[in-house]
Structure 1
Amino acid sequence: MLLRPAELAAIRAGDVDLAFRRWERPRLRVGTRMRTAVGLVEITSVDRVPVSSLTAAEARRAGAVSLAALRRGLDRVHPDRPVYRIGLRYADVDPRHALREAVPDAAEIDTIAAWLDRLDRASPTGPWTRETLLLIDELPATRAPDLAQRMGRDTAAFKQNVRKLKERGLTESLDIGYRLSARGGAVLDHEGHPRPSVDRPGPEPGTPLPHLGAGATRTLTAHGLLRLEQVARLTESEVRALHGVGPYALDRLRAAMDAAGLSFRVV
């Protein structure tokens, strides 16, 4: 279920705990925890409800300005489908964020290496784990189709493989492409793999940027801005002046920074 940055910020703050969607059938189960830009959001209820039963109080709990606005929004897309009321709550931070910055000791690296070996042995197309990690390390913030082509794989299969590495905290998704985490770098270094980026500074800890669009992401990446904490060192005017950072990207940055308890520097 797609949730806008402003909705996510409100869920984290506890101001929003409902959402309404038109679905042919329920798409989420109670207890599901969705990974979002602000952390884990848990589904607390999923109920089919008639539009006529919606109330102004529920509209406010869903972040709508009014009951009429909520109903208009529901009627814009697939008005013939039933309406579902979804209960939401902020559950916790995404555990992968802390995991990827935690450098494992030798014993844990051996466990990770054994898991990578099992993935390689199970692959019908041959070993891929270390090659993928090294490629991401060599070409961070590079489009997945370009990386997949370099490895001679189709994009869908490549992304699926990277998701497996991400679950173990070895990689980090960017708005464009990926980057190797401190955890992934420690595994490669322990195994003695030659790394073209071994002298490159490690990722600065902090909150990753939200999805901003390709142009804004390229601009911020080129200026070394990969964390919200880094953006917070600049004024809003300084960020707005960067070529490629438009109103949409600024809105996403404001919402993400607000959710993280950050703000632009004030002169």
Structure 2
Amino acid sequence: MIRPAELEAIRDGEIDLAFRRWNRARVKVGTRLRTGVGLLEVTSVDAVPLSALRADDARRCGAASLAALKEALTVRSSGQVFRVGLRYAGPDPREILREAVPTAEELTEIRAGLDRLDAASPIGPWTRATLRIIDANPEVRAPELAAQLGRPTPEFKRDVRKLKERGLTESLAIGYRLSPRGEAVVDHEDGPRERAPRRTGTPLPRSIGAPATRALRAVDLHTLEAVCSWTRSDLAALHGVGPIALDRLAAAMADIGLGYAPD
């Protein structure tokens, strides 16, 4: 429920609070949350009266003003207001796991884990079919993949997350692809297969949204390193690339020392 711009601000140390109206606290101190920018850690959880909020609270949570913060919290009248302290806790460990090609012993453990998922599923074995369809269709939207398997999209996406937890898949701005770890599992079971070369560079951030991602892909821009060869005004002329997407692209490029080409 934390918006992409807020996630980036937490990572950069500009925001360290969030406010929620809950019937009871849904996180506790020490909880770690996986997000698009990495891990966030909950540092405090306190129920507070709405009247106790101050301008500093609004600043620390990224609200435009104290009035705007209070207005957002009064949309729902039930429940208590909770002040949640947050800090960036580093990259998602799954990113490291994805790049780790498994040993023979690890492959045995991974396959046994997939067998357990299959055995526990009410629809029967699904793990290998899901890995194979992602392998054959990288960067394809989840509804299209689910339709090929004859599965409801929400259930398909839920199961892909289980594979992601094991470092076998990667979520892209649109669709998925197998990680090097996932490719090793499929190759071990089916034999090595020809794949298109993995694109080098930094993938487009998911925070720019699907319309902007489709527009960039249509002109063969798949990485931030490719985007930086374009001017902001030329990208703005592409249908689907709006000011918010442009700002998020600029922020993502700045993180790796890049920027738009000069006009």
The TM-score normalised by the length of structure 1 is 0.86
1:31 is aligned to 30
2:215 is aligned to 219
Query: What pairs with 1:161-200 in structure 2 (closer than 5 Å)?
Result: 161-193=159-191, 195=193, 198-200=194-196
2:76 is aligned to 78
C-alpha separation in 2, matches of 1:55 and 1:230: 44
1:64 is aligned to 63
1:42 is aligned to 41
Identical columns (%): 59
2:96 is aligned to 98
By how many angstroms is 1:224 displaced? 4.4
- 1:231-264 Cα offsets, whole Å, 9 max, x none, are 3454323432333212232233234445x34442
C-alpha separation in 1, matches of 2:143 and 2:220: 23
Aligned to 2:24, the other structure's residue is in SS state coil
Aligned residues: 262
Conserved? CA contact 1:54–1:67, under 8 Å? yes
Please say if 1:265 is aligned against 2:263: no
2:198 is aligned to 202
C-alpha separation in 2, matches of 1:106 and 1:189: 12
Conserved? CA contact 1:172–1:179, under 8 Å? yes
Q: Relative to structure 2, which stretch is displaced further, 182-191 or 104-113?
A: 104-113
Please say if 1:235 is aligned against 2:231: yes
Query: What pairs with 1:13-32 in structure 2 (closer than 5 Å)?
Result: 13-32=12-31
Conserved? CA contact 1:38–1:93, under 8 Å? yes
Conserved? CA contact 1:55–1:67, under 8 Å? yes
C-alpha separation in 2, matches of 1:126 and 1:228: 40
The 1:74/1:210 distance shift into structure 2, 3 A limit, reads same
- Segments of 5+ residues of structure 2 without an aligned counterpart are none
1:139 is aligned to 137
Aligned to 1:164, the other structure's residue is in SS state helix
The 1:32/1:221 distance shift into structure 2, 3 A limit, reads farther
The TM-score normalised by the length of structure 2 is 0.87
The 1:265/1:250 distance shift into structure 2, 3 A limit, reads closer
By how many angstroms is 1:204 displaced? 2.9
Conserved? CA contact 2:17–2:85, under 8 Å? yes
Conserved? CA contact 2:99–2:180, under 8 Å? yes
C-alpha separation in 2, matches of 1:205 and 1:181: 15
By how many angstroms is 1:78 displaced? 1.2
C-alpha separation in 2, matches of 1:37 and 1:30: 21
Conserved? CA contact 1:236–1:264, under 8 Å? no
- 1:160-207 Cα offsets, whole Å, 9 max, x none, are 211111111111112332122222112212323474xx2301243535
C-alpha separation in 2, matches of 1:20 and 1:124: 38
- 1:214-239 Cα offsets, whole Å, 9 max, x none, are 22222223444444444345432343
